[in-house]
A = this chain, B = another copy of it.
Amino acid sequence: MSRLDSFIRRLEAQRACLGRAAEQIERVPGAVLELGLGNGRTYDHLREILPDRDIYVCERHVDAHPDCTPPADLLLLGDMFDTLPAALSLKGRVALAHFDAGSGDAAANRDLAAGLRPLILPLLCAGAVLASQEPMDGAGLEPLPLPDGIRPGRYYLYRRV
C-alpha cells in the first residue's frame, strides 16, 4: 500500500471514529477537547458534527486556517503538559476528547500519548469517549469497537469508566 493509500485510510478512519464518538456521547453532556489544532481540519469537522458543544482546543502556537481558529476563551494556548493540568475548570466536564499527534514519527507519537494519558483522564466525565490515533489502553478507559471497515490499530476509541 502506498503512503497515499495509507494516509487516505487513516483520514477515513479518523472521520468514521469521530462520527461514532459523536453518536456515543449523544446522551453525555459535556465539552469537547481537541488535543492539538494543527491546520484545523479536524477541529472544523468536530464543529460540524457537534455544533452545540463547546470545543476546547490545545495548541502551542496557532497556525490554522483563519476560518478554523478557535475563539480565544476556548483555546488552551501553550504546551499541553502545562495547560492540561492547569485546566481545572474542565475537570470531569469533557464528554469527548480527541488526540492525533499528527507527526510521522510513530515512536514519538506513542510516547506523547502515554505522557498525556494521565493528564487527559481526570478531565473526562463518566461515559466520555476518547478517540485517539495512538493506543491509550489502561485503567479507567474501556476500549470501544471501531466502526465497520476500520482495521484494528488504525485508530482507537475508549469509554471513560
Interface residue ranges, A against B (CB under 8 Å): 2-5, 7-8, 11-12, 14-15, 39-42, 44-45, 47-49, 65, 68, 104
Neighbour of A41 across the interface among B3, B12, B14, B68, CB < 8 A: B3
List, sorted by A's number, 14 A–B pairs whose CB atoms are closer than 8 Å: A2-B49, A3-B41, A3-B44, A3-B65, A4-B11, A4-B14, A4-B15, A4-B45, A5-B45, A7-B41, A8-B8, A8-B12, A8-B15, A65-B104
Q: How far is the CA of A133 from the CA of B48 in the complex (A)?
A: 26
Expressed in whole angstroms, the minimum distance between the Cβ of A34 and any Cβ of chain B is 12
Dominant secondary structure at the A interface: helix
Task: Find out whether the CB atom of B45 lies under 8 angstroms from the CB atom of A2.
Answer: yes
CB-CB under 8 A from A45, the residues of chain B are 2-5
Question: With A8-B8, A8-B11, A8-B15 given, is the CB distance from A3 to B104 under 8 Å?
Answer: no
Q: How far is the CA of A48 from the CA of B3 in the complex (A)?
A: 10
Q: How far is the CA of A40 from the CA of B7 in the complex (A)?
A: 12
Q: How far is the CA of A76 from the CA of B111 in the complex (A)?
A: 37
CB-CB under 8 A from A41, the residues of chain B are 2-4, 7
Q: How far is the CA of A5 from the CA of B18 in the complex (A)?
A: 12
Task: Find out whether the CB atom of A7 lies under 8 angstroms from the CB atom of B11.
Answer: yes
